[in-house]
Amino acid sequence: MGTDLAEMKKEALKDFSDFINPMKVRTMRTVGLDIIEDRRSGASVWDITGQKFIDCQTGSGIMNVGRRNPEIVEALKGALDNYDMGVFLLCSKQKADLAKRLAEITPGDLKCTVFGVGGGEANDAAIKIARGYTMKTGIVYAEKAYHGHTGFALSAIGRAAYKEPFEPLIPGFTMVPFGDADALEEAVTDDTAAVILEPIQGEGGIHIPGDEYLPAVRKICDANECLLILDEIQTGFGRTGKMFACEHWGVVPDIMTVAKSLGGGIYPISATVFKEEIQDFFIPHPFIHLSTFGGSDLGCVVGLASIDYILANNLPAHAEAMGNRFRAGFERLLNDYPELLLDVRQKGLMMGLQYTNESIGPRMTKKMADRNIIAIYTGNDPSICRLMPPLVITPQEVDEVLNALEDSMKELSGEAGLGRND
Amino acid sequence: MATTQEILEALADYQVQCNNNKRLRKMQRDWTKLLHFFAEDTGGSFSMEVVKGEIISFKSGAEGTPDVVVTANSEDLCDMFWGDLNPNSKYLAGEIRVKASQEDIMRIDAISMIIWPDA
């Protein structure tokens, strides 16, 4: 490592600490991930000092097409030759093209779109639309749910620590256990506007519901004339082996939110996609929900390029295949390290390793960082490691990650503080 | 190996450092917790009660239902309270074990960052 680069890194970390967030730097340093992101390509990112890491975190799924995918970069460069962000009050071909494409690729009769910048904003819009359209107020959400840190979305997060400092939040929200259709049915009332769920919980720790759950929720919503909002922000765009996770269960929501990988890791954009009849809410209120930067023309060009890339390269199928390759390795680890690894939850390349206790998540994160892999425990539960590598990950890179996991577990198994009760 | 008396002395200093730090008190004013510490080599146990960011008491013995449980050897506990040891490296080696929510672990680490910024 060159002295200049080492100094540059030290200064960048100090400035980040001084001007952005000191505790973030401290925490990342503790687990060996005080990386200053520099070069990025495919499944990898390089620290400013030149150290290469395979990124299995990817901002919880913003890099499905890989880091700095050349085709997406070219699309943005081309757009910059001709356009700017656009003016949100005006209409544009870029916005219309992406909305039409989203209608084509989303399941069932989802058709119309409201654009935003980030996932929280998309969920805010979904909840507002549900209340406006149904003229009801109740929102039912799940324990351990994560929908973003903005107003309505924050009220639907199933983790008290994110919410308590900001209370009182928006009223009318009821939390139920995830995966329990009976509990959800009990919580839905005549005043329920919508049920909002992730098809597979990401931040909560990669919780996959039973096969009967989402179809049952769909029926409950239909019976009670409330809307079903599915948050596909982490699960969408091929992550789970299908374009959208709800397709595993043949369930079509009334409103679907997407973000993260819609932006190809290059440009922020989100979308709230809903059925045509819900558009009736906007006909008398065409300007009731606006976003200055939502669906910028540059973002829409990137969004189209990202979707085209995912489809042209059949990334959902590749995610399924690479997921299977991971699974074979996980089976060996489950067998060899029962004192460390309790369970693996997985759909395609949405993967969660359930460790035996809460100290193992941070300790494994550090050991994986020492082996040049970014694999971080979840905020909701440090006993769970969430693995969400880019969908373009190669078989060789999958093997590198598995080898690093095995080496890390082998080293950890000789240390203190393992097992369920420690 | 640290004696019970030595750990209590370290805790007394930790209490003074925390309670006299205005920035820390303000930062932690919404933090009310009961912490237990166990010295696994001596079998000693200790309690610390924090109310609105102020350490209002500490003592030998672990009573009540704790929000946070820290287990380590007596020497590491003592060094941790004196600020002579960065607990993170011991935590990552499994030599200091913490049973607590992520938020409470962050709070404890935040105390170390504020009162020993150069550690």
What is the per-residue pLDDT across B31-69, written as a single tens digit (0 to 9) for each?
999 999 999 999 999 999 999 999 999 999 999 999 999
Interface test mutation site (partner B, options A356, A359, A384, A386, max chain B beta carbons within 10 A): A359
Amino acid A420: pLDDT: 66
A93 touches chain B (CB under 8 A): no
Q: Is the pLDDT of residue A126 over 70?
A: yes
Full-model pTM: 0.95
How many contacts, defined by CB atoms under 8 Å, are there between A and B?
45
Q: Is the pLDDT of residue A75 over 60?
A: yes
Confidence band (pLDDT; 50, 70, 90) for A211? very high
Q: Is the pLDDT of residue B119 over 80?
A: no
Alpha-carbon gap, residue A252 to A347, rounded angstroms: 19
Q: Which of residues 8-37 of A touch B (CB under 8 A)?
A: 22-23, 26-27, 30-31
B26 touches chain A (CB under 8 A): no
Query: How buried is A407 (Cβ within 10 angstroms: 0-12 exposed, 13-18 middle, 19+ buried)?
Result: middle
Q: Which amino acid is at A1?
A: M
Residue B51 is encoded by which pair of tokens?
């109310």
Amino acid B86: pLDDT: 83
Alpha-carbon gap, residue A197 to A209, rounded angstroms: 11
- E strands present in B1-119: 33-39, 44-51, 54-60, 68-72, 97-99
Q: Which amino acid is at A165?
A: P
Q: Can you tell me whether residue A396 is helix, strand or coil?
A: helix
Interface test mutation site (partner B, options A18, A21, A26, max chain B beta carbons within 10 A): A26
Q: How many domains does chain B have?
A: 1
Q: Which of A23, A358, A359 sits opposite B94 (nearest CB)?
A: A359
Alpha-carbon gap, residue A45 to A68, rounded angstroms: 10
Q: Can you tell me whether residue A240 is helix, strand or coil?
A: coil
B52 touches chain A (CB under 8 A): no
How far apart are the CA of B67 and the nearest CA of chain A, in angstroms?
14
List of residues 6+ apart from A408 with CB closer than 8 A: A364, A367, A368, A370, A371
Amino acid B118: pLDDT: 75
Alpha-carbon gap, residue A346 to A326, rounded angstroms: 9
Residues of A within 8 A of B113 (CB-CB) are 22-23, 26
Query: Is there a contact between A205 and A352 (Cβ–Cβ < 8 Å)?
Result: yes
The CATH number given to whatever domain includes residue B48 is 3.30.1050.10
List of residues 6+ apart from A304 with CB closer than 8 A: A75, A94, A97, A98, A101
Residues of B within 8 A of A415 (CB-CB) are 93-94
Q: Is the pLDDT of residue A1 over 70?
A: no
Q: Print the domain residue range for B47.
A: 4-115
Domains of chain A, each with CATH number or no CATH:
3-61+315-412 (3.90.1150.10), 70-312 (3.40.640.10)
Instruction: Kindly report, residue by residue over A132-175, the tens digit of the pLDDT.
Output: 999 999 999 999 999 999 999 999 999 999 999 999 999 999 99
Inspect the interface and report whether the beta carbons of B109 and A23 lie closer than 8 Å: yes
Query: Is there a contact between A398 and A325 (Cβ–Cβ < 8 Å)?
Result: yes
Alpha-carbon gap, residue A140 to A130, rounded angstroms: 12
Amino acid A3: pLDDT: 80
B30 touches chain A (CB under 8 A): yes
Q: Which of B92, B102, B103 sits opposite A366 (nearest CB)?
A: B92
How far apart are the CA of B93 and the nearest CA of chain A, in angstroms?
7
Q: B66-97 b/e with 16+ CB inside 10 Å = b?
A: bbbbbbbbbbbbbbbbbbebebbebbbebbbb
